[in-house]
């Protein structure tokens, strides 16, 4: 049973030290792959499998949502798949997909219709709670969740009301998320809670908001909507990971991490993989506990995998882009 414990909000964070650690991690992360293309390919494939492939545009239609679903189910070209099969028999086309697709509630039924047509059980995530502002009454959020789930969603991404954080109303924030989490879990769907870290004022608030979300029943905590001026940074990731670790120690519950917003290339994504590897451990290196919210990242991942496999840049016809 989710319950609020104010003692879990207490923390001592030295912002300058956290930022220095993040910078060192970014500098050192890629050196791991020096002369080890196999390790880099495996991590790129892991990233691919953890992507929530996203479209959240006002002009989304069945056509582009269907394309999104096709790409999520078939993220790599046949040429790459064939080469990977030589590299490792595990890498068959049926084993390589993104983690999920993510759309607005009105587009969930489009995803479900298309995925059913191609006989795919790829998860569908939907953003609610007045995304991206978080300024939506709880009854409206619950109704949006019900609509999304009835339309075929398996996962729900909500965004918190940042005003509660900025005014220090931690119990109220916990209460709101708890109501939403219970609603999601009664419907057997996972809940990701978007903190909008760039709008929370300071790193202490990010830690406390993370704790409130996890105490209330979040299955994942997520950095950003992708609409803030500052989105997913390794500094934010370190604070959220610290909260996830402290929560696991206190409650013996593993909560997932989802960076989102501004992660556009393989270099950035590899830094996040290594952040999780070093500070949470291998138990979190799967799409049950780690996701990356992205729209254009997949194109870059496919490009980089091709280069590593064939030792040259691909032509347009050799990719799925």
Q: Which SS3 state, helix, strand or coil, does residue 239 take?
A: helix
Instruction: Extract the tokens encoding 144.
Output: 């949006």
- CA 151, 146, 206 angle in degrees (round to 5)? 110
User: Which is catalytic among the residues 157, 176, 219, 268?
Assistant: 157
Is 59 designated active site? no
Q: Compute φ and ψ for 26, nearest 5 degrees.
A: -65, -40
**Cβ distance 196 to 233 under 8 Å?**
no
Is the domain defined by 6-318 classed in CATH 3.20.20.70?
yes
Is 222 designated active site? yes
* DSSP for residue 316: G
What pLDDT is recorded for position 92?
62
Residue of 192, 251, 197, 162 whose CA lies nearest to 18: 197
What pLDDT is recorded for position 89?
63
What pLDDT is recorded for position 94?
62
**Cβ distance 105 to 151 under 8 Å?**
yes
- Look at the block and give the residue holding tokens 């004022």: 201
User: Which is catalytic among the residues 73, 192, 208, 258?
Assistant: 258
What pLDDT is recorded for position 29?
80
User: Which is catalytic among the residues 110, 219, 222, 268?
Assistant: 222
Return per-residue pLDDT of the chain as tens, 321 residues: 789 999 999 988 988 899 999 988 888 887 888 888 999 999 999 999 999 999 999 999 999 999 999 999 999 999 999 999 887 766 665 679 999 999 999 999 999 999 999 999 999 999 997 898 889 999 999 999 999 999 999 999 999 999 999 999 999 999 999 999 999 999 999 999 999 999 999 999 999 999 999 999 999 999 999 888 888 999 999 999 999 999 999 999 999 999 999 898 999 999 999 999 999 999 999 999 999 999 899 999 999 999 999 999 999 999 986
Kindly state the greatest CA–CA separation across the chain. 57
Indicate the pTM of the whole model: 0.95
What pLDDT is recorded for position 83?
92
Q: Compute φ and ψ for 219, nearest 5 degrees.
A: -85, -30
What pLDDT is recorded for position 63?
95
Is 157 designated active site? yes
């Amino acid at each position: 049973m989710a319950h609020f414990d104010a003692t879990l909000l207490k923390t001592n964070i030295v912002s300058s030290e956290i930022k220095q650690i993040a910078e060192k991690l970014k500098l050192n992360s890629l050196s791991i792959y020096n002369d080890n293309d196999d390790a880099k390919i495996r991590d790129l494939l892991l990233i691919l499998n953890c992507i929530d492939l996203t479209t959240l545009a006002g002009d989304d239609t069945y056509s582009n949502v269907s394309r999104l679903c096709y790409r999520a189910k078939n993220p790599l070209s046949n040429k790459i798949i064939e080469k990977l099969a030589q590299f490792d028999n595990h890498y068959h086309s049926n084993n390589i997909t993104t983690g999920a697709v993510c759309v607005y509630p009105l587009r969930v039924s489009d995803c479900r219709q298309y995925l059913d047509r191609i006989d795919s059980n790829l998860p569908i995530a939907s953003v609610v709670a007045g995304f991206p502002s978080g300024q939506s009454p709880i009854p409206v959020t619950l109704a949006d969740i019900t609509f999304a789930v009835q339309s075929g969603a398996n996962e729900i991404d909500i965004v918190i009301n940042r005003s509660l954080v900025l005014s220090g109303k931690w119990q109220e924030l916990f209460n709101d998320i708890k109501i939403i989490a219970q609603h999601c879990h009664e419907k057997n769907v996972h809940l990701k809670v978007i903190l909008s870290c760039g709008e929370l004022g300071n790193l202490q608030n990010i830690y406390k908001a993370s704790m409130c979300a996890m105490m209330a029943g979040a299955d994942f905590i997520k950095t950003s909507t992708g609409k803030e001026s500052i989105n997913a940074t390794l500094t934010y990731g370190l604070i959220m990971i610290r909260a996830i670790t402290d929560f696991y120690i206190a409650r013996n519950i593993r909560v997932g991490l989802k960076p989102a917003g501004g992660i556009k290339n393989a270099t950035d994504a590899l830094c996040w993989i290594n952040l999780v590897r070093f500070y949470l451990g291998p138990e979190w290196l799967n799409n049950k506990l780690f996701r990356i919210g992205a729209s254009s990242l997949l194109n870059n991942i496919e490009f980089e995998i091709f280069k590593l496999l064939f030792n040259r840049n691909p032509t347009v016809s050799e990719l799925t882009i």
